[in-house]
Amino acid sequence: MAELTNIKKKIAYHPALLGGIALIAGALLVMADAGTREQIAERQAEDLRASLTQVVGDDVHDNSLLADTIVLHAPMEFSDNASGTTVYRARKDGKVVAAAFQVIGMGYSGAIRIMMSVKADGSIMGVRVIQHAETPGLGDKIEAEKTDWINHFAGLSLGNRTLDQWKVKKDGGEFDQFSGATITPRAVVRAVHKGLAYFHAHQAEILDLEAPHG
């Protein structure tokens, strides 16, 4: 013990101790990361699959959505991935019947991630919020588990609604806002509308019209 006290007095002891512990902690973290990375990726893929199943019913396609993807160039507001946004295509008998992709709306407290799917005819199949940080009890009514507000989007398209109708009622549109929360539904409506416009702009690529896909 006396020996240790003497060593402790040396000035080099402190940086050596801090460095040593940093080294051990770093090594532990690297090991933990390596040990859990696969698991976490798997869980996240499961989450993605689950959110895709919510917007694209299992009965409308016969392929694996995760396996049939294209990455399209997209504005930053669509994805946090610089390389572009990933579009998941649902096929039946080789033909694309619907496509699902993620859009991001800026809500009251940060990004709202939305998974939406559009049928080949340009109408919305389903919309689900997959991640958000809106006020509990107010803004979280956009979740399908809380209210059925989000189901209002199904069947809408750029063709059957005018630009003015793509707004919350407060702004003269046809979507309900929630009492005490207007910013959240406004952000969702705007994001979904943008998503539809994006689908139309890239319809040919998304629907794989040029060449049949193997």
Partner 1 sequence: MADYRQIMRDGIWENNAVLVQMLALCPLLAVTSTATNGLGMGLATTAVLLASNLVVSLLRNIISNEVRIPVFILLIASIVTLVDLGMNAFLHDLHKVLGLFIPLIVTNCVILARAESFASKQSAAAASFDGLMTGLGFTFVLVVLGGVREIIGSGTLFSHAALLLGNGFSFLDITLLDGYRGFLLMILPSGGFLALGFLLAGKKWLDLRKQDREAEAARRMKVDAINAMSDEEIMQQGEPS
**Footprint on this chain of partner 1 (rule: CB under 8 A):** 4, 8, 13-15, 17-18, 21-22, 25, 28-29, 32-33, 35-36, 39-40, 43, 46-47, 133, 135-138, 180
| Smallest separation (angstroms) from partner 1 to the CB of 22 | 6
Question: 42 or 121, CB closer to partner 1?
Answer: 42
Which residues have a Cβ under 8 Å from the Cβ of 89 and sit 6 or more positions away? 63, 65, 68, 69, 70, 96, 98, 99, 100, 206, 208
Which residues have a Cβ under 8 Å from the Cβ of 95 and sit 6 or more positions away? 120
| Smallest separation (angstroms) from partner 1 to the CB of 31 | 10
Which residues have a Cβ under 8 Å from the Cβ of 202 and sit 6 or more positions away? 72, 87
| Smallest separation (angstroms) from partner 1 to the CB of 29 | 6
- Between the alpha carbon of residue 196 and those of residues 39, 42, 150, 189, the distances in Å are 34, 30, 15, 11
Element at 183 (helix H, strand E): helix 183-201
- Quick one: how far is CA 4 from the chain centroid? 55
Q: What distance in Å separates the CA atoms of residue 35 and residue 176, rounded to the nearest whole number?
A: 47
Question: 101 or 178, CB closer to partner 1?
Answer: 178
Question: 29 or 71, CB closer to partner 1?
Answer: 29
Question: 25 or 71, CB closer to partner 1?
Answer: 25
Tokens of 27: 């090594």
Question: 46 or 62, CB closer to partner 1?
Answer: 46
| Smallest separation (angstroms) from partner 1 to the CB of 117 | 22
Q: Residue written as tokens 């669509």?
A: 78
Question: 26 or 57, CB closer to partner 1?
Answer: 26
| Smallest separation (angstroms) from partner 1 to the CB of 151 | 21
| Smallest separation (angstroms) from partner 1 to the CB of 210 | 39
**Within 10 A of 125 (CB to CB), how many other CB atoms are there?**
22
